């Protein structure tokens, strides 16, 4: 449908139910999950393994057709870990899989269908098990991965850098650059002295951002009625 016809109280109750579900079923799957997480379609999230931590104001957007998957693996060499900093955004279809260590800095944004792995999972000559195939992955603060980026093992991406959509990152990327391609190469340098707004700017007044979104919902749904919503559900038209 072209418009969300739900009355405000339906949307509000749905959001409150979603928040309860996150606290009751999603949060226990993290070793640590900071304050004020926003998880869209939390039932579709797939979180497996231990040592998965996320900071404050995590914004995680999942979907039944493109679930977000966070996975750590255990082996004789140790147990993998995933650490996600404050104010991070993770879009639908993102897969993060660690057998050793993946660290994502604060304010980072990971666009749809990105993949981050710290392991090859099979050796070139011993393909029966992952043996000495892992190297830690580090994304600095305020890193932005475009859609469908693949980050390979052993890679460090510096603070503020942007990786273009569809790129394959096989080696380190310095801070304050734009990189793109397969394999990814630096194509532009950013000015580190120029002021850069980060996601933490949205939450500079604490939870005011989410409260403001609630007021926006109330305004946008002012003309919605329960009867109209039920009517649209039963028989939508091309005007709906």
- Residue positions annotated with a catalytic role: 122
In DSSP terms, 76 is beta-bridged to none
- Alpha-carbon gap, residue 207 to 194, rounded angstroms: 27
DSSP state of 200: G
Long-range own/partner contacts, residues 197-202 (CB < 8 A, 24 or more apart): 198/87, 198/107, 198/142, 199/57, 199/59, 199/87, 199/88, 199/89, 199/107, 199/109, 200/57, 200/86, 200/87, 200/106, 200/107, 202/87
Instruction: Supply the Cα-derived Rg of the chain in whole angstroms.
Output: 20
Q: Which contacts of 131-137 are long-range, i.e. CB under 8 A and separated by 24 or more positions?
A: 132/77, 133/99, 134/77, 134/99, 134/100, 135/100, 136/100, 136/101, 136/102, 136/103, 137/98, 137/101, 137/102, 137/103
Residue in 51, 53, 61 with CA at minimum distance from that of residue 33: 53
228 token code pair? 């109209």
């Amino acid at each position: 449908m072209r418009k969300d016809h739900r009355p405000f109280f339906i949307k509000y109750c749905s959001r409150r139910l979603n928040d309860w579900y996150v606290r009751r079923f999603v949060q226990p799957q993290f070793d640590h999950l900071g304050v004020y997480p926003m998880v869209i379609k939390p039932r579709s999230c797939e979180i497996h393994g231990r040592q998965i931590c996320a900071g404050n104001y995590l914004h995680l957007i999942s979907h039944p057709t493109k679930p977000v998957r966070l996975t750590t693996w255990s082996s004789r060499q140790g147990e993998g870990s995933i650490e996600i900093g404050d104010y991070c955004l993770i879009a639908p279809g993102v897969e993060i899989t660690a057998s050793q260590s993946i660290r994502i800095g604060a304010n980072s944004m990971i666009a749809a269908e990105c993949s981050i792995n710290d392991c090859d999972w099979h050796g070139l000559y011993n393909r029966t098990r992952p043996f000495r195939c892992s190297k830690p992955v580090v994304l600095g603060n305020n890193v932005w991965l475009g859609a469908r980026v693949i980050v390979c093992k052993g890679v460090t991406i510096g603070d503020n850098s942007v990786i273009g959509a569809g790129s394959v990152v096989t080696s380190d990327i310095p801070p304050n650059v734009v990189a793109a391609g397969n394999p990814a190469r630096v194509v532009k340098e950013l000015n580190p002295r120029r002021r850069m707004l980060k996601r933490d700017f949205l939450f500079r007044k604490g939870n005011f951002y989410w409260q403001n979104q609630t007021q926006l919902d109330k305004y946008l749904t002012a003309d919605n009625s329960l009867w109209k919503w039920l009517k649209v559900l039963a028989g939508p038209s091309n005007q709906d």
